[in-house]
């Protein structure tokens, strides 16, 4: 029996609509738009890393014979690659070294300085030194820099960390993590091995570098009057730092002379994008530079404003009673006491520390997806605080 034409038309329309529905469900999404579909806070209408990226503007010094290993390398300035690493993290450290030597340091041969709270094994020394033509230094952290300070009440520490655990604060009950955060916040640059060193590039185990960098990043910092360089800018867990901002306000009330007139207060106190974070952190946005990558001038950490600030924070005991990390402590210090124009986004350095990326659009990059912030769950996109930094400071 012939099917009436109106019925055939309706049937065809239904088939077309069904295929359209299936396509909408299964169609691929780009890294910059994928997170919008689930109603998650957007990072950008368009991630700046999707735009073509070249070398930064300013004075650049490129590789030459003057960067040869050893005494012949007269172009190198007073700087080091710096890693806090345990012997058991050797393989992950080797992975990080291979990436950075391949993409950058084989051209410039800056020394590696490794720190540990116990002596490095001969295996660690042998395998790390085999990956580079540059000098390798292996340093032991002084006990007075690593041990829990005498003013910490260990009963209170145990009670406090139990509360943090109940709030699902990561690493809350790992005392070595608290020690590490304190050391990275205000003690590493006091190590005698760094007494005559000005710049450092922090490198952690199990990170990745994706892009060839053909200029001396330390000379870039020096010649262009930069204090600090970052790649990733995130929100922190407010439950880990509830009193950091109140203590900061106490400090700047006592030392208003330390606050730079061209500070980044708006970035530190924004409550529009993540009002829940600002409320739980008592006025702090929780935005911070993810300090597992940082290229910085230690003159800032050694300055009176930052030293006074760290000592104030340290005496509260909250590196242990809470879980203050070096990332928010460094970031608040920089945001208040440094000229924000001296803080630089190294957008051209492709980088990953699980689960976040900085992946620029450059022919010099391979191994990462351009513009992708994370390969984790879509909800992680809301942790991106770059939009606020770019809004209040810019992309320089």
Looking at the annotation, which residues are catalytic?
294
Residue recorded with tokens 């009002």? 275
- Whats the size of the chain, residue-wise? 396
Nearest 5°: CA angle at 79, between 91 and 127? 20
Three-class secondary structure assignment of 16-36: HHHHHHHHHHHCCCCCCCHHH
3-state secondary structure of 362: coil
How many C-beta neighbours within 10 Å does residue 305 have? 19
Beta strands in the chain (DSSP E): 79-84, 112-116, 136-140, 199-202, 208-209, 228-230, 233-235, 287-289, 294-297, 343-345, 351-353, 356-358
Judge whether 194 and 188 are in contact, CB under 8 Å.
yes
Q: Which residues touch 173 (CB under 8 Å, ≥6 apart)?
A: 161, 162, 164, 165
Is residue 213 within 8 Å of 103, Cβ to Cβ? Answer: yes
- Pairing type for strands 199-202 and 233-235 reads unpaired
Output the CA angle 178-182-188, nearest 5 degrees: 135
């Amino acid at each position: 029996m012939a099917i009436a034409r109106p019925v055939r038309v309706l049937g065809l329309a239904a088939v077309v609509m069904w295929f359209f529905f299936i396509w909408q469900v299964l169609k691929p999404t780009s890294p910059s738009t994928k997170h919008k579909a689930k109603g998650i806070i957007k990072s950008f209408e368009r991630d700046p890393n999707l735009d073509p990226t070249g070398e930064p503007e300013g004075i650049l010094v490129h590789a030459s014979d003057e960067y040869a290993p050893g005494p012949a390398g007269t172009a190198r300035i007073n700087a080091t690659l710096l890693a806090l690493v345990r012997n058991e993290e050797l393989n992950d450290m080797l992975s990080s070294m291979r990436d950075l030597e391949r993409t950058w340091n084989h051209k410039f041969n800056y020394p590696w300085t490794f720190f540990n709270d116990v002596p490095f094994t001969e295996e660690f020394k042998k395998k790390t030194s085999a990956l580079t033509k540059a000098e390798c230094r292996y340093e032991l952290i002084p006990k007075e820099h690593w041990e829990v300070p005498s003013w910490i009440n260990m009963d209170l520490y145990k009670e406090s960390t139990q509360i943090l655990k109940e709030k699902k604060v990561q690493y809350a009950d790992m005392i070595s993590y608290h020690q590490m955060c304190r050391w990275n916040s205000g003690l590493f640059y006091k190590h005698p091995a760094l007494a005559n060193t000005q710049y450092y590039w922090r490198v952690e185990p199990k990170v990745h570098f994706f892009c060839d960098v053909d200029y001396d990043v330390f000379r870039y910092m020096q010649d262009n009057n930069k204090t600090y360089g970052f790649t990733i800018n995130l929100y922190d867990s407010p439950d880990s730092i509830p009193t950091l901002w109140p203590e900061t306000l106490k400090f700047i009330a006592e030392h208003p002379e330390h606050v730079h007139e061209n500070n980044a207060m708006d970035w530190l106190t924004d409550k529009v994008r993540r009002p829940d974070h600002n409320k739980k952190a008592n006025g702090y946005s929780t935005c911070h530079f993810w300090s597992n990558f940082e290229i910085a001038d230690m003159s800032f950490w050694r300055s009176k404003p930052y030293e006074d600030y760290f000592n104030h924070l340290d005496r509260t005991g909250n590196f242990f009673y809470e879980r203050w990390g070096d990332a928010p402590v460094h970031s608040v210090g920089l945001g208040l006491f440094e000229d924000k124009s001296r803080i630089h986004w190294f957008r051209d350095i492709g980088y990953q520390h699980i689960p976040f990326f900085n992946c620029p659009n450059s022919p010099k990059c391979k191994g990462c997806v351009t513009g992708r912030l994370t390969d984790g769950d879509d909800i992680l996109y809301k942790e991106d605080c770059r939009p606020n930094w770019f809004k209040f400071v810019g992309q320089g």
